A and B are shown apart, each in its own frame.
Chain A
């Protein structure tokens, strides 16, 4: 008698389990790690990625690359998530975190193959990561208590380290100072959107500049705009969120007249409404009127007549920044405008920047905002520069709040690695091996730095190990010297990273590695798969058969 087969899951459900599954997951993670590997460090390369809509990104930022790769493999997706979390948490080190996670798993692979239970590995990795983080904290040098000028210089060093791996690395000092000034300007305020980055194609990187206030592109203007004055000293600024246009007050209203002589009164009434609004704006004493909604041609000419500058359809974030900088409040009515709601700044000016005209408010009283105007030769170039500056801004902000730094260039990684190796020798049992392999995995950072720069990694690493092994501890801050292909004291060369970047990277990478190690079965619903395929095929507007049915072999 044949035992009837018990079907638990719907037909077509893909299940895979056991050791093989674990190894396959590790392989997929390693494959993803290999993609971003080459972007690490000052000699790291960029990736050019076409997405399915045909737009193109050139980037060196780990998080951006992984996001654009559109990864569907469930285990590999975890890497995308940790890169994202690193990006939102500290803003930089996204490549590092992915690389570390991949390397941890790679080191774990032989143990898994040999039949070690993955929970053992996980436990040891967790211990190792706690130890590593403690060590980072211990090694970190505080920059607290320095004078503002000194601190600025130190922060600029951190920013320069971040920028050195980017496309704008050639001008890293220039941009680092700019970033530090911008971050210092907004002070303790948590709202990152107070730092605006505006992109203007054309010109040279060095033509980029920082405005200690707000700058935004000239908005759409009506006839009469050119007759308005374009420069004011200490103007009052009125911020509005209403339309200043001649229009019907109510959408669905209809007026019925039985007496033709009343016709004019209706026309006048409408004009009076708008004139009333405009008069109130003028009465308030404001010299610059900004609105999030349209300012029509009538209003433009009316203001031009009275020597007032106006701009309609200002983007909301720009308006909010003006409000924060100039100290005004955005009004939704022109009634009852008291002087307190008007903002002010030292200089308002409309300036030509490259091919664009910009409205620039500088010397704002509260000064809690800054705008960086980026220039560059190509759109792609500016896009990438913006991403790089974002990273740098985040780093500086973290460094301001959490003002401890560690030497970069792989120095800190080597030091932790050494520390963990030493520690592992004191442990009896299997854990010794695992912590040792964790320590080895940490060496991937300096190794990759060398590989990317075309140096002999083994050679450099051996030199580094020797330095770090010195009893006196004086070699603790030695890292890869990217210029000569040897080793150098990273701390003395001002290759600094905020400690929080490293801590977060180690934490996130270990978490991800442990998570993947703890998975031993994947059950995949067939529906979700085909739905995904359909969605993808549909989105691209080509219902080719190739899109569907693919991935069936996936396990």
Chain B
């Protein structure tokens, strides 16, 4: 950091530990920040699109993640640079809000920064650039609204939803069974969706995975899957028309919370105590039996004696079920969580058509399926796959697909993918640029060029000639004035995205543009970086 000098030329210190601080200011700071942002975007660029590549990331504990989900890659990279962190947060907020398009948003921001750098070199004030970007983003968002199309679907006809989800899944490693996965995702979302309020609570969809089997074995269970087995190996493995008691109290003699001590000084007292204990177990099991429960699901453990007794009385039971699962079971079966045996009543039991235990392959692992529940508003997607990494990646892909389906239920509008929307916006922004007097015009044009970078990256990743392809598609769009032409990534032979069925949600795309612009503005606005030299 620059020192201040007094009248005699001696430097003096104003800030604490001044000599350890570095300061970057003016155009240098902006250049350095832009470079950092671009570096992050460059990493993700190759992951974009159906022919995008995956990244392998090794965590600090040696665990390996393979993914092409932008948000996950950036999260795991653990970047240190502040500007790079902003890009990570950018991707994360796209993930929170939309759930899909996390790679695209970063690529977009990187392209905007790259263009901004050129404008800065021309001597345009960074804030003018940022303001120009903002104007352009408004134009782009409005244009997207114009070219968007409404989708009609209902519970019976969900084909359009499936197609949109397929577009999302096609860029993932699981694309070989994108059709089935997309169907699963859509069915799951429709099962829990509140179509009137247009609201989907994704918490009600549980995604479980287990190593083994094929990706094709992935299934949707209208009910709950619990990674637990019956507490006693001899209990029945299948219960039809189950009445489930959902308990949060252990099968143990109750313990007061206050510190207590029982003084036993005679044999009789000991006997009573023992009898009492037995009686407790007996009462508990009897109580469950009395209200008509045919299955007990408990949050806590059982005493061995209780377990034996349950077996004996032919009352199957599951123990150590986590709180979240317990809640989902309660919602699905329409039961109530019961905190005390005394409160158990018939009305509080949950009902499920079928509860069965299923074992997989040669392993001893078993899982409990609770199906045909009274209230099917909770579903589980059960993923099978060759290895753990595959399952993790499938989970992420399914999450993206679920989010897309949810967004479509919230807002039915779609735009065409494959870079078609970006190209259309680019044309619109470019045309609008001429209407703005002042320096901003240049920034708006730069924005249009940055929009081209997404289809460009798509073409590059698909092994096409980027510039040739882009200019061909662009001229086609302009000539026919139809905004459906995009990059033919899969070499199907047509550029018409309607035929290829490549859709993206309107809100997702709008959000991408707005978020990227916002973050770029923030980066451009910084002209001074003061840091300890250690960072």
Contact = CB atoms under 8 A, between A and B. Distances in A.
Interface string B488-529: 000000000000000000000001001100110110011111
Given A24-B12, A54-B535, A72-B13, A298 B339 contact: yes
Interface residues of A, number: 92
Interface string A351-373: 01011000000000000000000
A438 interface: no
B257 A247 contact: yes
B337 interface: yes
Contacts of B20: 546
Given A227-B327, A254-B258, A201 B276 contact: no
Interface string B110-134: 0000000000000001111001001
A453 B129 CA distance: 12
Contacts of B5: 27
B475 interface: no
A50 B327 contact: no
Given A45-B526, A202-B96, A259-B269, A376 B258 contact: no
Interface stretch (A333-341, A378-386, A416-424, A425-433): A378-386
A381 B519 contact: yes
Interface stretch (B236-244, B259-267, B285-293, B444-452): B259-267
A5 to B, nearest CB: 24
Interface stretch (A28-36, A183-191, A466-474): A28-36
A381 B522 contact: yes
B15 A70 contact: yes
A71 interface: yes
Nearest to A305: B336
Interface string B246-268: 00100000111111111111000
A47 interface: yes
Contacts of A146: none
Contacts of B519: 377-378, 381
A60 B337 contact: no
A256 B16 contact: no
B125 A205 contact: no
Interface centre among A223, A255, A380 (most CB of B within 10 A): A223
Nearest to A265: B256
A319 interface: no
A401 interface: no
A201 B525 contact: no
A20 B6 contact: yes
Interface stretch (A284-292, A321-329, A511-519, A547-555): A547-555
Overall SS of chain A's interface: mixed
A167 B269 CA distance: 76
Given A48-B529, A305-B336, A378-B519, A246 B257 contact: yes
B213 interface: no
A201 B89 contact: yes
B487 interface: no
B235 interface: no
A224 B327 contact: yes
B4 A31 contact: yes
Contacts of B269: 258-260
B7 interface: yes
B10 interface: yes
Given A267-B256, A550-B17, A23 B530 contact: no
A261 interface: yes
Contacts of A227: 327, 330-331, 336-337
A204 B94 CA distance: 10
Nearest to B513: A204
Given A54-B535, A201-B89, A380-B522, A301 B336 contact: yes
A52 interface: yes
Contacts of B330: 223-224, 226-227
A555 B7 CA distance: 12
B294 interface: no
B262 A257 contact: yes
Interface in A508-555: 536, 546-547, 550-551, 553-555
B127 A43 contact: yes
Interface in B52-83: 82
A50 B260 contact: no
Contacts of B126: 45
Interface string A467-498: 00000000000000001100000000000000
Contacts of B177: none
Contacts of A35: 528
B260 A256 contact: yes
B449 to A, nearest CB: 21
Given A203-B93, A224-B337, A536-B16, A69 B525 contact: no
A23 B6 CA distance: 7
Which interface residue of A204, A206, A547, A553 has the most chain B CB atoms within 10 A?
Answer: A204
A104 interface: no
Q: Which of A35, A38, A60, A354 has the most CB of B within 10 A?
A: A35
A260 B262 contact: yes
Given A28-B4, A50-B535, A301-B248, A255 B13 contact: no
A73 B96 contact: no
Interface in A31-85: 31-32, 35, 38, 42-43, 45-50, 52, 54, 56, 58, 60, 69-73, 76
B42 interface: no
A304 B337 contact: yes
A48 B256 contact: no
B139 interface: no
B12 A49 contact: no
Given A254-B258, A263-B276, A301-B337, A203 B528 contact: no
B405 to A, nearest CB: 15
B337 A204 contact: no
B386 interface: no
Contact of B13 (A263, A354, A554): A554
B484 to A, nearest CB: 26
B211 interface: no
A76 B219 CA distance: 68
Nearest to A484: B438
Nearest to B299: A223
Given A167-B525, A297-B323, A378 B89 contact: yes
Given A253-B258, A297-B337, 18 more contacts: A20-B8, A27-B5, A45-B525, A45-B528, A60-B525, A167-B522, A201-B96, A223-B248, A223-B337, A226-B203, A254-B259, A352-B199, A376-B518, A380-B522, A381-B89, A381-B522, A384-B522, A555-B10
